[in-house]
Structure 1
Amino acid sequence: MPSIHRRNFFVGGAYAGPPGSRVMHGQMHVEMLTPDLVTHRYPLVLICGKAQTATGWMTTPDGRQGWAEWFAEHGWRVCVVDQPARGRSAWQPEWNGAVKPLPVPLVENLFTAPEDGGSYPQAQLHTRWPGGKHKGHAGDPVFDQFYASQVASLDNPESERLMQAAGAALLDEIGPAILLTHSQGGLFGWLMADARPGKVMAIMAVEPGGPPYQDDLYKSGADRISGLTTEPLTYDPPVSVASPLQFEQQAEPDAPELARCWLQKGTPRRLVNLANVPVLVLTAEASYHAMFDHCTARYLSQAGVSVQFIRLQDVGITGNGHMLMLEENSLDIAAFLDAWLSGHMTEE
């Protein structure tokens, strides 16, 4: 096994407050893993979703190898980040706002045991969460380890503002990189690419936050008035108060088990800073995202982005839910992502 060298550092952040009581807020902790033999030109930046920290990339709750070390062993420099105001990145309540935890029933129903009570059609296909007789539920040792890792976190749009700034600072520090995002972290991938054109070489969006514009299913917060995000993205023609984006929803879904997609109304504007970024949107068979991730891919395509949408079951990987990087076959999915990059990136 190759040796892996670790470097821990912070990017971004600013001092605030009156003289004598200033604090720093908005900074982001980064852990970089560098193997002895680096075989890929660009580093990978792994960005987690809501309530998660970098620990979810480092190991699984039942003690198996996580994606960060797996990718490092396969020749990648890997950066795992704790979003500002989360994990090893300090939360300053006066400047960052309130944080909220995810309650146990929500975690069980959406992340670990949807087959036992999930409210979406694909839930019964879920088989891959590790554990014993009561797997996926409080009281099972694997679930308890997972839930112990959950942290209270900020809602959007505050998290988007902080993460776009910190993510841009990270790209300024490490240079061009590939983003591997998950869930809420998917929002930050679009914002980072928009803030630093030419420094994001590809985005692998694993079940990215969505669907575009409005969540009619779970009513998950503020409308994404920029389509993919709440915070502004760069469109051509430009968006303004006098000329906002307009959206329209499908009259009927593509299939009964799918959501109706929101798209731009009329002649679509282009996401110019994402136009040259290869994008993968990857969705698991048994996740609640299986209902709507195709809408994110469709929105990207309509806005001029080169995007490939793949459902894991179509490449022979079945039974996964939303926390697929922690499930029994997690390294099979990592290997698929590694192969996708090999087919879509040049190393010159």
Structure 2
Amino acid sequence: MPKLRDVCSHIRSKNAGPFWITIDLTFPDRGTFDLHSTSPAIGPGAIAAMFDVEPGLVKHFLVPELAVVKISYPRKRPQGGALERDMHGGQQYNRLLEIDMGAPKPVPAIPVPVVDQHTLGGRGHFFVGGSYAGPPEGQTMAGQMFVEVLVPKEVRKPYPLVLLHGAGQTATCWMQTPDGRKGWADYFVEQGYIVYLVDQPMRGRSAWHPADGPTRNYTAQAVEAQFTACAQTTAWSEGKLHTQWPGSGPGRGRRGDPVFDAFYASMVETLVSNEDTAIRTQAAFAALLDKMGPAVLLTHSQGGSFGWAIADARPGLVKAIVAIEPSGPPFNALEGRPRSGLKWGVSDIALTYDPPVDDPAQLAVVAHRSEPHRVACERQQEPARQLVNLQNVPVLVVTGEASYHAAYDHGTVDFLRQAGVQVDFIRLEERGIHGNGHMMMLEANNLEIAACLDDWIAKSTRGD
């Protein structure tokens, strides 16, 4: 059986004032600490018996962050006493070296990768928004939104970060990658942000009821073609550049591959009506911001169009928006493709324009090619109406090199800039970050991208 000297990297005893001795047991790593730190062999009872003191007087502290056990007990004789032979308490550790630690306690096997949480100080969850609906004798709550909050031990950022997912997803897309690596939520906690994760209303832990309307879902084949195995697609030319989806082998990004299967298992039903989803999400986020105060929004895909509506409703509380490939292009219209949504330009629901717009048909538009080698997208005829509630909200739009959004996100940027919004636009390949598709927060280089976002947020909120 191992002795204490075999499992510790350092054992030290010392004075803790004239009447106490302190022992420090330092283990070589967190795993060894977890195995032995609570062993009865070094517990208060065993220490009391060894040094002939009352068990109730032994103080026993675990410091897992340092892999240290600290033990204090009263001296039999005060420091400097006539019969005291260990003036500085430095010889007491010798009696500990041969403690028989016995067999370590069994540790249950963990069947999946887990992410270290050493910077997390606390977590909680709550619901915001929602109202009772239905007949008086049988009401249910509709429109409420689940929110989880992660608080770092040391908050170093001036504003919380609220992560808003896209269609078919929930907050799990921010928590951990499908191959078990650290997700953006934990990364941003490590940078010192308070992080809020939400499930859109009528999605995931934010309950859907049949009265809310019909739902849709992505088939596995659609997910392969659009998100995970884009290199095999012919639907858009940039798809062949897709290299960052995690996994290996010929089945990477396809059904039967464990990483793909883990990702597809996370896909959930989405309300068919983007407009109804946008109305409920805007209302729930207004309630959230009213409750928590100013924050930075980080949106993805479908959540991107909701981000504009949220900032329009609470412009003083949204300090910046990071939009990862937001729904687009404006009016969902491309060359050769008729409009199919986003009837208010970049939103399915009304935004505040100046001069005012009562009907989206009042938005006169023309086709415009803002990047010569990209497709033409629609924007307003000049003079363009201004999105007045968004003009003081810094915006970053981020696009992956291999995503289907690479063909048209410039159109969204152009529309917003023309409407007076301060927009920075990052094509990741222009920052030396290559091979990303639409689900970049889950891909192999996800933390490299997160660092790029963190840098922009810091610069954009520095003056606040």
Bin the TM-score by the shorter chain. Answer: over 0.9
Unaligned runs of 5+ in 1: none
SS in 1 for 2:398: strand
Query: Which residue of structure 1 aligns with residue 306 of structure 2?
Result: 188
Query: Which residue of structure 1 aligns with residue 16 of structure 2?
Result: none
The structure 1 residue matched to 2:442, chosen from 312, 319, 326, is 326
CA distance in 2, matches of 1:347, 1:338: 15
- Work out whether 1:83 is the aligned partner of 2:197: no
1:106 Cα shift?
A: 1.1
- Which consecutive aligned stretches of 4+ in structure 1 deviate over 4 angstroms post-superposition? 217-221
The structure 2 residue matched to 1:119, chosen from 224, 227, 235, is 235
Query: Which residue of structure 1 aligns with residue 168 of structure 2?
Result: 51
1:140-193 Cα shifts (integer Å, max 9, x gaps): 000000000000101311111111111111111111110000000001110100
- Please say if residues 194 and 234 of structure 1, whose CA atoms lie closer than 8 Å, have aligned partners that are also in contact: yes
CA distance in 2, matches of 1:64, 1:229: 33
CA distance in 2, matches of 1:173, 1:225: 30
Distance change in 2, residues 1:25/1:301 (3 Å): same
The structure 2 residue matched to 1:176, chosen from 294, 311, 326, is 294
CA distance in 2, matches of 1:309, 1:330: 18
- Work out whether 1:238 is the aligned partner of 2:321: no
Name the % identity. 52
Counterpart residue identity of residue 75, structure 1: G
Query: Which residue of structure 1 aligns with residue 378 of structure 2?
Result: 262
CA distance in 1, matches of 2:299, 2:349: 17
CA distance in 2, matches of 1:137, 1:162: 34
The structure 2 residue matched to 1:147, chosen from 241, 258, 264, is 264
- Work out whether 1:295 is the aligned partner of 2:411: yes
- Please say if residues 325 and 397 of structure 2, whose CA atoms lie closer than 8 Å, have aligned partners that are also in contact: yes
SS in 1 for 2:429: helix
CA distance in 1, matches of 2:142, 2:360: 34
- Please say if residues 29 and 89 of structure 1, whose CA atoms lie closer than 8 Å, have aligned partners that are also in contact: yes
SS in 1 for 2:149: strand
Distance change in 2, residues 1:220/1:68 (3 Å): farther
CA distance in 2, matches of 1:171, 1:193: 10
Query: Which residue of structure 2 aligns with residue 30 of structure 1?
Result: 147
1:109-131 Cα shifts (integer Å, max 9, x gaps): 11001101241010000000011
- Work out whether 1:272 is the aligned partner of 2:406: no
Aligned pairs for 1:16-27 within 5 A: 16-27=133-144
Query: In angstroms, what is the RMSD of aligned CA positions?
Result: 1.7
Distance change in 2, residues 1:220/1:329 (3 Å): farther
CA distance in 1, matches of 2:458, 2:371: 31
Query: Which residue of structure 1 aligns with residue 455 of structure 2?
Result: 339
Larger Rg: 2
Distance change in 2, residues 1:54/1:220 (3 Å): farther
1:217 Cα shift?
A: 7.3
CA distance in 2, matches of 1:164, 1:40: 25
Aligned pairs for 1:129-148 within 5 A: 129-133=245-249, 134-148=251-265
CA distance in 2, matches of 1:188, 1:71: 22
Aligned pairs for 1:182-261 within 5 A: 182-216=300-334, 222-241=340-359, 244-250=362-368, 254-256=371-373, 258-261=374-377
Query: In the comparison of the two structures, how many residue pairs are matched?
Result: 345
- Please say if residues 109 and 118 of structure 1, whose CA atoms lie closer than 8 Å, have aligned partners that are also in contact: no
- Please say if residues 315 and 393 of structure 2, whose CA atoms lie closer than 8 Å, have aligned partners that are also in contact: no
- The structure, 1 or 2, with the larger RCO (C-alpha pairs under 8 Å, 6+ apart) is 1
TM-score (norm 1): 0.96
1:223 Cα shift?
A: 2.4
- Please say if residues 43 and 178 of structure 1, whose CA atoms lie closer than 8 Å, have aligned partners that are also in contact: yes
- Please say if residues 40 and 347 of structure 1, whose CA atoms lie closer than 8 Å, have aligned partners that are also in contact: no
Query: Which residue of structure 2 aligns with residue 282 of structure 1?
Result: 398
1:216 Cα shift?
A: 3.3
Unaligned runs of 5+ in 2: 1-117
